């Protein structure tokens, strides 16, 4: 992780307070005092709850009983579970629903990522939960949304962003390219869920009235396309991949391969930045007034490709990195952690030997931190349910 001095326990200064014990009660971050109940699931809902835990919320994840306990290796690399408490409740047990309602009575937020209707069938729909706690924020994370013709269909990130127009806009002229599951699951899904939950929480604290947050990845990924839809409405965007300034069509906004097989990224949109690109690249006879003329883009892209192929990535970094060209090397995940800028910003950290992104964004007075590494399923069952007044026999009867 570079040359930054670490503390004796192996963490960077801002991460050194990550406690070794999963039962540590120390809290940090702007969401101190906020309690969130998470119904265990996959993908965007757990990521949203991880973000909220990083920000200081107490997140209690209700896990299902597992037929096979996860190995320590499987457990501590599950980054989306960092900072959370874990309890196990078998929702098929007679007292399960009432136990969860008792937890909800003392919580600020409930987050679930099931198909529409599942929580209602469990006896934990919004009406029942909010009768128990009128100020509860009930966060619901789905792909298609709580209603609509596709609401009960199975799907994944790729399907949701296909329906919103986002997938069509990403890729080569010949075909769409899968942009990982960043656009649907984590951007249009989890990030919008967090924004909705926090907005509803502010409203609940000022009015005493909770509400349901219906976060759908189709809606969220469509919202992320707002600027492009605006460009299209004004005639500045073609509904055709690789033909626009920001989708790889322009020669001054894209990636180029270097002589060592590595890549660099160029984003020289503004005229002064473009002029610097042309100067540093050594291209001659370039009509600077034709930068925004799409008819010139294919030829200019070929010329730049030839130039970038003459040097290694590190050589181009020496020439261009840190200038106003708007330049960066295209780094692998491990390389990113070792880049001097990311080291200086402590953008990545190691927790329990696992390299991972640090909490973000940064706060001037309530610094976020990772409370503890991911814990084994059920680690906090006795602690959390014991606070509700349940005996050991009653806890065992819940399947925990």
DSSP assigned state of 185: I
Q: How far is CA 206 from the centre of its chain?
A: 28
- Cβ proximity of 249 and 243 under 8 Å: yes
> How far apart (Å, rounded) are the C-alpha atoms in residues 213 and 200?
8
In this structure, the dihedral spanned by the alpha carbons of residues 328, 334, 339 and 341, taken in order and rounded to 10 degrees, is 90
HSE (CB half, 13 Å, CA atoms) of 224?
A: 25
- Token couple for 11: 């963490």
CA angle 5, 9, 11 (to 5 degrees): 50
- β strands within 278-395, DSSP E: 327-329, 348-351, 354-357
3-state SS, residue 125: coil
> How far apart (Å, rounded) are the C-alpha atoms in residues 345 and 358?
10
> How far apart (Å, rounded) are the C-alpha atoms in residues 286 and 370?
51
3-state SS, residue 142: strand
CA angle 70, 75, 77 (to 5 degrees): 140
Residue of 9, 156, 260, 341 with catalytic role = 156
Residue 156 among the catalytic residues: yes
Residue 341 among the catalytic residues: no
For residue 112, the tally of other CB atoms under 10 A from its CB is 21
> How far apart (Å, rounded) are the C-alpha atoms in residues 375 and 384?
14
Cβ within 8 Å of residue 11, ≥6 positions away: 18, 349, 350, 351
DSSP assigned state of 270: S
* Signed CA dihedral, 110, 114, 116, 120: sign only: negative
Helix and strand element counts for the chain (H, E): 16, 11
Residue of 54, 63, 157, 185 with catalytic role = 185
Q: List active site positions.
A: 156, 185
């Amino acid at each position: 992780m570079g040359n930054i001095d670490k503390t004796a326990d192996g963490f960077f200064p801002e991460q050194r307070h990550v406690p070794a014990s999963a039962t540590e009660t120390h809290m940090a971050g702007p969401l101190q005092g906020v309690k969130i109940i998470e119904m265990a699931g996959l993908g965007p809902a757990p990521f949203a709850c991880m973000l909220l835990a990083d920000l200081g919320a107490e997140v209690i994840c209700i896990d299902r009983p597992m037929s096979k306990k996860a190995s320590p290796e499987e457990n501590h690399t599950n980054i989306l579970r960092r900072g959370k408490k874990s309890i196990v409740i078998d929702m098929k047990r007679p007292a399960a629903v009432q136990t969860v309602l008792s937890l909800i009575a003392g919580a600020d937020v409930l987050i679930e990522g099931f198909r529409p209707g599942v929580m209602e069938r469990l006896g934990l729909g919004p009406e029942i939960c909010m009768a128990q706690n009128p100020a509860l924020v009930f966060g619901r994370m789905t792909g298609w949304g709580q209603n609509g013709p596709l609401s009960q269909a199975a799907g994944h990130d790729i399907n949701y962003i296909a329906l919103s127009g986002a997938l069509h806009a990403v890729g080569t002229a010949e075909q769409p390219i899968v942009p990982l599951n960043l656009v649907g699951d984590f951007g249009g899904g989890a990030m919008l869920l967090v924004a909705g939950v926090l907005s509803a929480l502010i409203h609940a604290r000022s009015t005493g009235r909770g509400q349901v947050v219906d976060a759908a990845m189709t809606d969220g990924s469509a919202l992320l396309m707002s600027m492009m839809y605006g460009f299209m409405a004004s005639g500045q965007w073609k509904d055709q991949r690789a033909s626009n300034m920001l989708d790889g069509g322009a020669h001054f906004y894209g990636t180029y391969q270097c002589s060592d097989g590595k890549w660099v990224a160029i984003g020289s949109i503004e005229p002064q930045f473009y002029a610097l690109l042309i100067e540093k690249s050594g291209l001659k006879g370039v009509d600077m007034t034709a930068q925004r003329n799409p008819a010139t883009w294919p030829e200019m892209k070929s010329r730049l490709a030839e130039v970038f192929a003459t040097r290694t990535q590190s050589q181009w970094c020496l020439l261009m990195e840190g200038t106003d060209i708007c330049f960066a090397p295209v780094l692998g995940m491990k390389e990113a952690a070792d880049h001097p800028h990311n080291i200086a910003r402590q953008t990545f950290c190691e927790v329990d030997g696992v390299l991972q992104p640090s909490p973000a964004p940064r706060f001037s007075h309530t610094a976020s931190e990772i409370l503890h590494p991911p814990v084994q399923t059920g680690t906090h069952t006795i602690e959390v349910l014991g606070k509700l007044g349940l005996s050991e026999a009653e806890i065992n009867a819940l399947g925990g």
